[in-house]
Amino acid sequence: MQLHISPSLRHVTVLPGKGLKEFIKVKAVSKRLSYRMMFYSLLFFTFLLRFVFVLTAVDGIDGENKCSTIGCLGKKLGPRILGRRPESSVPEVIYQTLDEPLGNDELKGRFDIPQTLEEFMIKMKEGGYDAKTFAVKLREMVTLMEQRTRLAKIQEYLYRHVASSSIPKQLHCLDLRLAHEHTNNAAARLQLPSAELVPALVDNSYYHFVVASDNVLAASVVATSLVRNCLRPRNVVIHIITDRKTYYPMQAWFSLHPLAPAVIEVKPLHHFDWFSKGKVPVLEAMEKDQKVRSQFRGGSSAIVANTSEKPNVIASKLQALSPKYNSVMNHIRIHLPELFPSLNKLVFLDDDIVVQTDLTPLWDIDMNGKNIKSDLSLWQLGTLPPGLIAFHGHVHIIDPFWHMLGLGYQENTNFADVENAGVIHFNGRAKPWLDIAFPQLRSLWTKYVDFSDKFIKSCHIRA
């Protein structure tokens, strides 16, 4: 800095030098730095406060005790901010006791185990137990409840298995009354079809459907729903295959309840020439399966008595005991080409379906020499799993509209989707003719049953 004094002008001139300029620059820069630091500091504390607020809110949601002091808050949030686990307030002895295995036999004959949570809390308050005793009592109560829940589930699966495998007395009554009618009423012994319609059975200009069933009422619903929804029923032929014991009741029903103008054929399996010649592979396989099953004693009782398996595993084993897996009616679809050698194309219908649309458009599908992949096919998914390998590459996929399945085990099926489907399938245990059927879905099946019919009324079959 330079200083000039002028005596004549009586004034002092101060000229800044390099040092002062540098000093002023440093001051200005430091001011700018302090403002920037202040901004970043405020930003950091803003994010920190938001983070602390979130952690505090989570603690409040979890139901932990509220903190009213900074020290308490620091003890709670400090370990989390630093990445350490907070110390648990639950005594370690409780974890150790709950981890100890408890045998099923240890609870037998015990009457001191609390049955409800309310009873458990009363005992804990009155007894003044320590932490270990608290854990022991809690473990015993929860284990007992788990055992009861498991037993209830297994009983439900067993009852469903029995209900789905047994023949309802109403259907048994219907078979007996129809068999009696077949014996005493000539009108119940009509030739099906009549002589002038026999050529239609091998005429490929007709639409041929096959139903294999030993259930008269179920076969009736399939045939009735098919004919009612068909746009050209005069060109429809329904081949109903049944077994020896159901042949007379089946013939009596369709003789007395014709579905004109459709052509109905009722034929027992033993009347087919191919079936009576030589050995039938499907029957040989079933005989071998029966021999294997006979080696395992106990059946469903032995399966249910197994305490080491989960309820869903037991349910699967009970399902495997279903008679349908050992029924000729369920497997004969594999040999339809041999049973109907003159027909170029036909559609197989299970007896637990309902037809809700015209099925004749299926004949317009070019299958390229394959089968249709649906329950309207020569093969049903899941019936004989090894056969899926045998038919690999010979299946033609069609639109799901033609087959909506699951109505026998999916209670919460969307009703609008069911109504809009072309064919609905009650596969599963809750068949529509059983009391365990789902009421909201059963109505789609019962609307094809004439409950004013004398045979239906006399056997007390109700909607």
Of 139 and 91, the one with more pLDDT: 139
Q: Is 180 found in the same domain as 149? A: no
The total number of structural domains that make up the chain: 2
With respect to residue 211, please indicate whether it lies within any of the assigned structural domains.
yes
Q: Is 250 found in the same domain as 129? A: no
The answer to whether 213 and 329 have CB atoms below 8 angstroms apart is yes
Q: Is 326 found in the same domain as 364? A: yes
Confidence of residue 294 (pLDDT cuts 50, 70, 90): low
The answer to whether 212 and 242 have CB atoms below 8 angstroms apart is yes
Cα 380 to Cα 339: distance, rounded to the nearest angstrom: 18
Reply yes or no on whether the pLDDT at 43 is more than 60.
Answer: yes
Average pLDDT over residues 184-190: 94
With respect to residue 188, please indicate whether it lies within any of the assigned structural domains.
yes
Reply yes or no on whether the pLDDT at 166 is more than 70.
Answer: yes
Range in 11-25, 65-79, 126-140, 408-422 with the lowest mean pLDDT: 11-25
Range in 334-338, 373-377, 403-407, 421-425 with the lowest mean pLDDT: 373-377
The answer to whether 392 and 370 have CB atoms below 8 angstroms apart is no
From the number of C-beta atoms within 10 Å of its C-beta (0-12, 13-18, 19+), residue 125 rates as: exposed
The pLDDT of residue 274 is: 74
Q: Is 251 found in the same domain as 382? A: yes
Instruction: Using the structure block, give the residue that is written with the tokens 């000729």.
Output: 328
Q: What is the pLDDT of residues 409-442, one digit of tens each?
A: 888 888 999 999 999 999 888 899 998 889 999 9
- Averaged pLDDT score across all residues of the chain: 77
Q: Is 192 found in the same domain as 113? A: no
Cα 241 to Cα 264: distance, rounded to the nearest angstrom: 11
Confidence of residue 363 (pLDDT cuts 50, 70, 90): confident
With respect to residue 5, please indicate whether it lies within any of the assigned structural domains.
no
Q: Is 426 found in the same domain as 363? A: yes
Q: Is 173 found in the same domain as 144? A: no
Of 318 and 369, the one with more pLDDT: 318
The parent domain of residue 146 ranges over 99-162
Average pLDDT over residues 2-27: 50
338 Cβ neighbours under 8 A, 6+ residues apart? 274
Q: Is 315 found in the same domain as 280? A: yes
Q: Is 438 found in the same domain as 374? A: yes
Confidence of residue 223 (pLDDT cuts 50, 70, 90): very high
With respect to residue 373, please indicate whether it lies within any of the assigned structural domains.
yes
Range in 138-152, 278-292, 438-452 with the lowest mean pLDDT: 278-292
Q: Is 204 found in the same domain as 256? A: yes
Q: Maximum Cα–Cα distance for the chain, whole Å?
A: 157
Of 356 and 112, the one with more pLDDT: 356
